[in-house]
Amino acid sequence: MINSIILLHNGDHYEKFSSELKDINPAVEIILLNDLASLIALPHSLLDRSRLIAYLSGVIVPLSIIKKLKYGAYNFHPGPPIRPGYASLEMAIYEGDQVYGTTVHEMDELVDTGKINGIHAFPVPKNTNAFDLYKLTMDSMLALFSQKKKELLNEAPLISYPIPWGNKKFTKADYMAYLRITRDISREELDLRIRAFGYDFDHKLKLIERGNIYELESSDRPDGYLDHGDFQVVCGQKFIRTKELVNI
């Protein structure tokens, strides 16, 4: 069995992953990190006896590192193969997917392009929003990890399947475009965008009007309003003026 696992992860599930992997191989060394500088700093002697597992990590692993890993590198993608790239679950809701899921795949030079080693699929509840689908996706990721943990500790490469990735790779720029609305948006379209994109407090729906930016009102809104110019109402939804500059 492999004696070293490099785990690219934010640490939220480290104790669970460590416990489950050590139940299979008590001697396995698990190296937790989640930034490129720390990864690059690892000695070649360690890479030469390790497998890398990326789980909800934003680190893009250079091909030079992947080639030095004796047992390869695998990524857990929070979406099905049909939805590579950024904002997979948001677009699944926006475009009305009935089935969603998560994927484990070999890491390659380009993001979400390597051979697929496993999928965990589940039905999308009717009229779900991105926050609820996110919770289901996290459960799916954990289930997929549990299915693959023994295989991940074996020295042999994970079994791959002839499953293609989707042709359309959504980008962050695509995602940001869906956050911008105009006053002539229909109520149906606005409700759909709120359901698909409006759960992220870092990326709220925005109305740009007369040089001002207004963000969709949420529970963290400022206390009180100075005048009616501080907010705009579109299709019954209140948008609060921000101090952000118009640069989107």
Q: What is the pLDDT of residues 181-197, one digit of tens each?
A: 999 999 999 999 999 98
Q: What integer pLDDT is reported at residue 242 of this predicted model? A: 83
230, pLDDT greater than 90: no
Instruction: Please state, rounded to an integer, the average pLDDT across all residues of the chain.
Output: 90
Cβ partners under 8 Å of residue 197, min gap 6: 87, 90, 94, 130, 175, 178, 179, 203, 205
What is the model's pLDDT at position 201? Answer: 62
**The pLDDT value given to residue 109:** 86
State how far the alpha carbon of 31 is from the alpha carbons of 51, 113, 213, in Å: 10, 25, 44
42 versus 109: which is more confidently predicted?
Answer: 42
Mean pLDDT of 26-50: 95
What's the pLDDT score for residue 200? 66
pLDDT for position 43: 95
Q: Tell me, rounded to whole angstroms, the distance of Cα 53 from its chain centroid.
A: 15
Which pLDDT band holds residue 8 (cuts at 50, 70, 90)?
A: very high
* pLDDT-based confidence at residue 164 (cuts at 50, 70, 90): very high
145 near 118, Cβ under 8 Å?
A: no
The HSE-up count of residue 63 (CA atoms within 13 Å, CB side) is 6
Q: What is the pLDDT of residue 151?
A: 96
**When comparing pLDDT for 219 and 171, which is higher?**
171
**228 vs 76, higher pLDDT:** 76
What pLDDT, on a 0 to 100 scale, did the predictor assign at position 228? Answer: 58
